Amino acid sequence: MEEKNIELEDGAGGKKSSDFISEIRKNFKLKTKWKNLEDDSAVFDLGKEKLVFTTDAFIVDPIFFPGGDIGKIAMCGTINDLSVMGAKPIGIALSLVIEEGFPRKDLEKILKSIGKISKETKVPIVTGDTKVTEKGKIDKIEITTSGVGLVKGVIENSGAKIGDVVIVSGNLGDHAVALLSERFNYKTKIKSDCQPIIAELKEVGKYLTSAKDPTRGGLATILNEIADKSKVKIRLKEDELPFGKEAVALSELLGIDKFSFPSEGRFVATTSKKNAKKVLNILNKYNKAKMIGEVEKGKGVYLKTNLGGIKQIENPRGKLIPRIC
């Protein structure tokens, strides 16, 4: 660890974050039968099937935002982390840390929102913990959702093959637009894309060679992760970029790279050229899916601009955008 104190950059996604996580994980070396320890979820072989296990902590500001709230994002985050592994989520553990004096009506809104996603996805809340802290110990509310799922064939980040194509399940960045607009008082009708991606992944999972949801760190972080782990190069084309109009506009206005904008209800995946059309057709029933690039021999993530230039999309370093997920 470099600096004396923990900095925001250590948790912002991107290169500095992944270094920080590596530093943390150095303390936990233990021989284990678990696999995919650096994936969205860890995997334990039960014999006939595999157990998948993940956790996510959420302190979002504001806690209510266009298109969702901290409860919805916590549920979606964990359900989606299981889903991108190809797993069927079977249960959620809900940990709430609430500040003394937090309005009951706000808590009820959040709980109803959690209950709604649970009902829609048929993923039950099966266990939990609730702590109330003295004023000032926490800002309003913190939610940690952990989830378990079952899977036969795991989708791994390391599975992208040369010749594959890269697909996104919908336009990217709306979560960032919705939250940044609230913060910077920018007028927009865009709502967060926060939603479970369980149904579409259940349908197309078997065709995917890798999959990941572009949350913290955005497209730049996850494509670099897939490229690194799969030991391949990913090439994007500028006119195939998946960002919504408002995401592009806000990115330019605030001078924040749109490639680091988080989405909370999308996934990016690779699939063979042969299966690409089938996958896109299925995904288009849910959202406007798109083919955005190809997997080639080499390493790193590159963008071919409309003028013919080649620009590397690096794993972002340090502080990307205000923390919004």
Q: Which amino acid is at 178?
A: A
Tokens (6 digits) for 93: 């553990």
Find the binder of a copy of itself among 8, 162, 199, 253 (CB under 8 A). Answer: 8
Residue closer to a copy of itself (CB basis): 63 or 166: 63
DSSP string, 10-35: GGSSHHHHHHHHHHHHGGG----S-B
Site string for a copy of itself, 46-75 (x = CB under 8 A): xxx--x-xxxxxxx-x--------------
Name the segment binding a copy of itself (CB under 8 A); options: 35-43, 167-175, 199-207, 271-279: 35-43
277 binds a copy of itself (CB under 8 A): no
158 binds a copy of itself (CB under 8 A): no
Q: Name which of residues 102 to 131 contact a copy of itself (CB under 8 A).
A: 102-105, 107-108, 111-112, 114-115, 118-119, 122, 124-131
* Cis preceding-peptide flag for 316 (omega within 30 of 0): no
Site string for a copy of itself, 134-153 (x = CB under 8 A): x-xxxx--x-x-x-x-----
Q: Name which of residues 78 to 97 contact a copy of itself (CB under 8 A).
A: 90-91, 93-97
Residue 55: strand, helix, or coil: strand
156 binds a copy of itself (CB under 8 A): no
Binding footprint of a copy of itself, residue count (CB under 8 A): 82
The alpha helices in 172-312, defined as continuous H runs, are 174-184, 198-204, 218-230, 245-254, 273-283
Q: Which amino acid is at 12?
A: A
Q: Which of 285, 166, 178 is nearest to 227 (CA)?
A: 166
